A and B are shown apart, each in its own frame.
Chain A
């Protein structure tokens, strides 16, 4: 059974940093790309970042590029999201998700949808 368990959320001041973790089990972690998807309170879903199975390729939404860093440790079956320079608009539940791939688009960007999701961890950015 696929399990994804996020941790690391909490209250942080604007401009602060936080690192989220996602522990994975039930599948061969290194064989799958992973993503972070967030949901602001009462709002819809927003893809944040993705990383290839090897960790060699990373992708970011424009809204977090230059502030967030995705990484993974395949020896620990764990996905991370380092979040710096946090803003009020980053307040959300952050989900990690296992990706399924459908090749690449014309710009070489991978095509991912999300077949399993964790329960999420809440990040609140407020003074």
Chain B
């Protein structure tokens, strides 16, 4: 099973700043089969990025994904108030599908 480790656990930033969230895998993720989700309190997760760098439908272009192998990054270029949430990465390159433990992006 591939273990995903997200860092930092909590990231404190201000609106307008740039956010960089990391997801490290215990083994190489095949063909960059990695997704990112956003979850706000009391709501379901929302798909942001799939295949490591492709934005999902309706996702603003301030969200971008990059990486390959064992190191992946979600970047939010300029934080909006609605971006403060918990972010999860998920690998689907090999069974079983696994998620990282999450990064909480909070307002500084």
Interface, chain A (partner B; CB < 8 A): 44-47, 59, 61-62, 95, 100, 102, 105-107, 109, 111-120
Contact = CB atoms under 8 A, between A and B. Distances in A.
A45 B93 contact: no
Interface size class on chain B is 20 to 34
Interface string B43-58: 1111100110000110
Contact of A44 (B43, B92, B96, B100): B100
29 contacts: A44-B101, A45-B37, A45-B45, A45-B90, A45-B102, A46-B99, A47-B98, A47-B99, A59-B95, A59-B96, A95-B45, A102-B31, A105-B30, A105-B95, A107-B94, A107-B95, A109-B94, A111-B92, A111-B93, A112-B92, A113-B33, A113-B35, A113-B50, A113-B97, A114-B35, A114-B37, A114-B90, A117-B46, A118-B44
A112 B90 CA distance: 10
Contacts of A95: 44-45
Interface of B: 30-31, 33, 35, 37, 43-47, 50-51, 56-57, 88, 90, 92-102
Contacts of B101: 44
A106 B57 CA distance: 29
Given A59-B95, A113-B92, 20 more contacts: A44-B88, A44-B99, A44-B101, A45-B37, A47-B96, A47-B99, A61-B96, A62-B96, A95-B45, A102-B31, A106-B94, A107-B95, A112-B97, A113-B50, A114-B37, A115-B47, A117-B45, A118-B44, A119-B43, A119-B44
A117 B88 CA distance: 14
Nearest to A61: B96
